[in-house]
Amino acid sequence: MGKHHAPPDASRYAQRGVSAGKEEVHAAVAQEDPGLYPGAFCKIVPDHLSGDPQACLAMHADGAGTKASLAYIQWRETGDLSVFRGLAQDALVMNLDDLLCVGAQGPFMLSNTIGRNKGLVPGEVIAEILAGYRQQAQQLAQWGVELIPTGGETADLGDLVRTLLVDSTLVCRMKRNEVVDNQGVQPGDVILGVGSAGQAAWESAYNSGIGSNGLTAARHDLLKHPYHHQYPESADPALPHSLAYTGPFRLEDPLAGSPLTVGQALLSPTRTHAPLLVPLLRQHRGLIGALVHCTGGGQTKTLRAGQGMTYVKDNLFPPPPVFAEIQRVTQTPWREMYQVFNMGHRMEIIGRPALVPLVQALAQPLGLEVRVVGACHKGGPANQVVLHTPGGVETYPG
């Protein structure tokens, strides 16, 4: 067992070798060219391919993260290969919804990357992931969003990959006058949250809302320790036994307050907001000040929008059952829960109050719950987020 160097007062998330705020990553890229719109949610560069000064390119890379390790266990336990289709959706949506936040509307070109341990992950798993990408392209087309698969790379990396990595890259060409640069936030703007749990019109089952963030914490906090012995390849070998699979549940156990098992809840595929945001951008772009995808960093992600703003979220969604159960089992402070997980809404639309009925009218037939979760106020030099959580009011500095 390798040594673990986290300080004793570090959060459980940090002790597992993961950073919600990714401070080291941000420091490493601080000297990189920020692109045409430094405040935008994704980096945007000139359209060097065509040379058109009115156009630009938005590109993003992301993946399913450690959710792939959980899918591996579920497959080994049940033989159900379909869990890997969900990983394709996770890897796609983590890119797609980030690009939607800069105003991209498509067509989107997709390249996928799969790294596997060939001794543990056979070819039929790869086939299922690729089928998942095709299925997503077909489904998005039904909602007017064009996704063009362009191939990718599958590599056998047993020396590096313990089970499976599922990543992808999306690129989109845009008009510069359609970019949402997230600098249009004004005092008095509303913060609209789009509920992450439930069943949207395009989904075949209830979605727990977990997305693809915080799965390292969720997996180890909810699942029983025997999984650590059965599938040691599913966890970091340097992880102390006291932090590995410390929960009370097996995958097939029911999740209180939901129609899902614990395994189904943790593996709920990441929901895209494209059917809502693409028509919203086309019809009401001028009312939008910022779009925020509350992924890594959870509800503190709003700190990236605007300048000199205080974001007060005093009408948050009740935590969906999967998050409520993680907090109940671990007694993790609510402050940390809201930094790690989306806690009820993964997409924020920030803009003029006139947006409220327009977004709700678009969301209602899609089966999406939308609520005004807060408002924007003039603040000091650095942004702040103030959250009214079940445990009290928490303030997060920028």
Category of 176 on φ-ψ map: left (φ > 0), alpha (ψ -120 to 50) or beta: alpha
- The answer to the question of residue 245 being in a domain is no
The whole-angstrom separation of Cα 135 and Cα 22 is: 32
Contact 45, 56 (CB under 8 A): yes
Number of domains the chain contains: 1
The whole-angstrom separation of Cα 309 and Cα 398 is: 10
Specify the pLDDT at position 28: 55
CA dihedral angle for residue 15, residue 330, residue 218, residue 225, rounded to 10 degrees: 80
Alpha-carbon separation of residue 155 from 117, 126, 132, 150 (angstroms):
9, 10, 18, 17
Specify the pLDDT at position 2: 35
- The answer to the question of residue 203 being in a domain is yes
Specify the pLDDT at position 374: 98
The whole-angstrom separation of Cα 348 and Cα 335 is: 19
- The answer to the question of residue 260 being in a domain is no
The whole-angstrom separation of Cα 319 and Cα 36 is: 37
- The answer to the question of residue 261 being in a domain is no
Structural domain harbouring 358 = 12-29+37-211+267-397
Single out the residue of 156, 67, 63 nearest to residue 110, CA to CA.
Answer: 63
- The answer to the question of residue 161 being in a domain is yes
The whole-angstrom separation of Cα 381 and Cα 398 is: 9
- The answer to the question of residue 109 being in a domain is yes
Name the 3-class secondary structure at 110: strand
**How confident is the prediction along the chain (398 residues), in pLDDT tens digits per residue?**
333 333 334 566 566 555 555 556 546 555 677 889 998 999 999 999 888 999 999 999 999 999 999 999 999 999 999 999 999 999 999 999 999 999 999 999 999 999 999 999 999 999 999 999 999 999 999 999 999 999 999 999 999 999 999 999 999 999 999 999 999 999 999 999 999 999 999 999 999 999 999 999 999 999 999 999 999 999 999 999 889 999 999 999 999 999 999 999 999 999 999 999 999 999 999 999 999 999 999 999 999 999 999 999 999 999 999 999 999 999 999 999 999 999 999 999 999 999 999 999 999 999 999 999 999 999 999 999 999 999 999 999 97
- The answer to the question of residue 335 being in a domain is yes
- The answer to the question of residue 256 being in a domain is no
The CATH number that applies at residue 202 is: 3.30.1330.10
Specify the pLDDT at position 241: 87
Compute φ and ψ for 326, nearest 5 degrees. Answer: -60, -45
Q: Look-up: residue for tokens 């913060």?
A: 191
Query: Terminal CA-to-CA distance of the chain, rounded, Å?
Result: 37
Q: Amino acid identity, residue 193?
A: G
Q: Name the pTM for this structure.
A: 0.91
The whole-angstrom separation of Cα 136 and Cα 261 is: 24
